[in-house]
Amino acid sequence: MIDLKKIQSDFESILVHSQDYPFYLNAENTIKQWFEAKDDIISKFCGELIVRSKTPVRIDLTEEQRNKRFEEFIHTLDENGILTEEFELFLRDNKGGFFDNRVLLPYPSFNIPLGSKLSKSFKRFLNNAETIRWVQDTASRYIQENKIEGYLYLSVHPIDFLTLSENNENWWSCQTLDGDFRAGNLSYMVDKTTIVAYLSNGKQEEMRCLPRGMKWYSKKWRMLIHTDRENNIYYNRQYPYESRDLLEKVHNMITQFIPVEMSMPLDYGFKVIQTQWGGGQLSYNQINAGGRIHDTRDTIDVEDYLGYSDLIQSSTYAPIISVNAEKYQDYANMCDDGKSAEEAFFNRVFKIKIGEKPICPCCGTEHINRESSFLCEYCIAEKEADEDFYLTCDSCYHRIYDEDEIYWMDGRPYCKSCHSLMQQEDRYIEEEE
């Protein structure tokens, strides 16, 4: 039995807490809109809002992915002013041992022996205890990602839409609850096509976006998937990294709930490409089907979506598609005059609507129209909410709501932790000089 009252109460509590609203919400109609929209998917899930893999899955990062994560670690240190020339040289010389946390090349001049723990050697290059601890913690998070293990989830639960990019894994996107496109979370929540796929350790945890005492699943990895009335599937961008293994596991899992034969991702004749036009790369993705170039905007309707769509706006992400093999074969058998099955299928069948305008969880009548607000225009004006009541940290880009928690340096706002880190680095530079 789905407890809509409990879902509504939790939904309202998270919004009030994360947006710092000094007023109550009444999201009954928003929750009703969600429940009616997801009815078909819930039915396919046998009445469940969340389904979980029976056993944990384990993914080992590829060499390319490990290299990328290592460079991200180096970049993080550099961004925070911690990376000296000697420290970077040491890290790169021991790159092969980074994910094993082992020193492969000894540094006698710094008293760093072969085979010692890499993270313990950081203190040879850093003077401040707090900075050393922060760098060690940061390295530890990257090292732990070498082997990703957890349960795989498919969900249409409202809390999973709210927490699309909320986690304790040190990654975020523009769809965090203080992100510039946070209304897109609700837009996905109330459409008929979107499912959240994610990897979690199987235990609910406290997170910064949740009210004190409330727990939910922290997402190690997540991807949105969109399925149309013909059971064709678009696989959206993966966060915080891409994994072909996880994509295929998600595909195998969701096709257990789809009553038709489905092609494996990319295996059924749809080639996804990036194209050039007039010497410059297009700002959207295109699909080569049946010898013709199709704009993804011809197959994806995002008119009512409140946010940034990786599927049609990204210049770096190419959508991955899985098609209803039975429907495809029907068109293949009907094709004549040299017209390909791909083109016939593409033109006549494959059309999906992603995102809807959600009902305002405050008044319960008007619809939300802003990408950066959970309220309609009427409630924004009446409640004097979501109007310049926050600043964004110039380093980590998280929003700062409390004026007392804003720290200024060189005319730029910073959160407390970033400001403290920058001050430490300034002192270190002064001491060196």
Distance CA 223, CA 253 (A): 13
Residue pair 9/164 in contact (Cβ under 8 Å)? The answer is no
- Percentage of the chain surpassing pLDDT 70? 77
Instruction: Report whether pLDDT(325) > 70.
Output: no
pLDDT (0 to 100) of residue 210: 93
Distance CA 235, CA 318 (A): 10
Distance CA 197, CA 253 (A): 10
Compare 331 and 302 and report the one with higher pLDDT: 302
Express each pLDDT in 145-167 by its tens digit: 677 889 999 999 999 999 999 99
pLDDT (0 to 100) of residue 267: 36
For residue 99, which of 121, 113, 118, 115 has the smallest C-alpha distance? 118
Phi, psi of 143 (to 5 degrees): -65, -40
pLDDT (0 to 100) of residue 421: 77
Residue pair 163/209 in contact (Cβ under 8 Å)? The answer is yes
Express each pLDDT in 195-226 by its tens digit: 999 999 999 999 989 999 999 999 999 999 99
Tokens of residue 104, six digits: 């492969």
Compute how many other C-beta atoms are within 10 angstroms of the C-beta atom of residue 400. Answer: 19
Mean pLDDT score across all residues of the chain: 81
> Position of tokens 């550099």?
78
Instruction: Report whether pLDDT(178) > 70.
Output: yes
- Angle between helical axes of 63-79 and 129-144 (0-180°, round to 10): 160
Instruction: Report whether pLDDT(277) > 50.
Output: no
For residue 302, which of 181, 154, 171, 158 has the smallest C-alpha distance? 181
User: Highest mean pLDDT: which of 162-166, 225-229, 286-290, 378-382?
Assistant: 162-166
In sequence order, the 6+-apart residues with CB closer than 8 A to the CB of 115 are 102, 103
Instruction: Report whether pLDDT(286) > 90.
Output: no
Express each pLDDT in 388-428 by its tens digit: 555 667 777 666 766 667 888 877 788 887 887 777 666 54
Compare 84 and 341 and report the one with higher pLDDT: 84
Compute how many other C-beta atoms are within 10 angstroms of the C-beta atom of residue 143. Answer: 17
- Angle between helical axes of 85-93 and 63-79 (0-180°, round to 10): 170
Distance CA 14, CA 205 (A): 14
pLDDT (0 to 100) of residue 362: 96
Phi, psi of 429 (to 5 degrees): -65, -45
Residue pair 352/300 in contact (Cβ under 8 Å)? The answer is yes
**Can you list the positions of beta strands (E) in 228-344?**
233-239, 271-273, 276-277, 280-281, 286-289, 292-295, 300-301, 320-322
pLDDT (0 to 100) of residue 29: 98
Residue pair 59/243 in contact (Cβ under 8 Å)? The answer is yes
Residue pair 225/235 in contact (Cβ under 8 Å)? The answer is yes
Residue pair 162/11 in contact (Cβ under 8 Å)? The answer is yes
pLDDT (0 to 100) of residue 279: 29
Compute how many other C-beta atoms are within 10 angstroms of the C-beta atom of residue 241. Answer: 17
User: Highest mean pLDDT: which of 122-136, 280-294, 338-352?
Assistant: 122-136
Three-state DSSP class for residue 349: coil
pLDDT (0 to 100) of residue 46: 94
- With 0-12 / 13-18 / 19 or more C-beta atoms within 10 angstroms meaning exposed / middle / buried, residue 369 is middle
User: Which range, of 96-110, 140-154, 189-203, 291-305, averages the lowest pLDDT?
Assistant: 291-305
pLDDT (0 to 100) of residue 382: 87
User: Which range, of 112-116, 137-141, 229-233, averages the lowest pLDDT?
Assistant: 229-233
Distance CA 190, CA 364 (A): 14
> Position of tokens 């008293």?
111
List the domain boundaries for the chain: 4-60+147-353, 63-126, 391-432
The residue-averaged pLDDT of 130-136 equals 89
* Helix ranges restricted to H, 47-124: 63-79, 85-93
